[in-house]
Structure 1
Amino acid sequence: MRFRSPPLLSLLLFFTSSACGTSHLAIGQSYLQRGNLPVAVEYFDAGLVEDAKNEELRDAMIMAEQSYQWQLRDDIDRLKDAGAYLLALARLTGLIERGHRLKTLRLPGEEPESLSQELRKITKKATKQLSIDLDKRAGRSQ
């Protein structure tokens, strides 16, 4: 005996699943309008997990993610120019994580592999900066 779901149940499930994607889209756009890119990206990402075929959600995710990556890139460049390598390293790590996530979703973004050389350079400078700071605090000089 084969089980068939009633048409009303199928219709209800369809609207519930599409409403979740719409809800994520609306909330994500609300955060996007307030300039809170990280939270907007998370809402769009969660919506895509539930409804990967939602083109409107996918487009919103791409736009928000690109803006967020540009913001991270700008932060990294400013922090490097200011000599704040530890903070630049944290932002670069975030950019690499975003790149991995976008690669998983098959969306355009910065390639994590292309950032590895920059990561090594900043890590080296951050380590040196941290060593100097710790030596100064301990009363040792180099």
Structure 2
Amino acid sequence: MPTPKFILDLREKVGHDLLWLTGITGVVLNDEEQVLLVRRADNGRWSLPAGILEPGEQPAIALLREIQEETAVGAEIVRLVSIEALPPGAYPNGDRVQFLDLCFRCRHLTGTARVNDDESLEVAWFPLTDLPADLAPRELDCISNAQNPTDQPLFTR
């Protein structure tokens, strides 16, 4: 996945030090209650469509752009599902990051799901009862939380 220019510019100043970034994640459901997943090119695992919020972007608009870019699917935001500080992590080159992730429930509007960029190996709809075994626990939580009937976003109190 290409690293956004603003992160490359920051890395010139801070090196491998911890960067606090805003992530956006989408739980896109279709009318058959299937969830849209992408098989990531960087690690080969199935994942929810996601991205990094760039300076000046609105989170919901940026997520819809990411979904379209990655999967060719047009969607609409239904609601904010959760706000969560994820644990710090590191990339193989030593860059350290920590994400504040905003997860949204989305509804499929248009388009046939397909690989639409070089960030994904596959794109597919999965029944909620038959999700890939390599889906990360956090992503399973996002999917579960998106099905919660409350309109209130979840966050740690």
TM-score scaled by structure 1?
A: 0.27
Q: Which has the higher strand share?
A: 2
Larger Rg computed on CA atoms = 1
Q: Which has the higher helix share?
A: 1
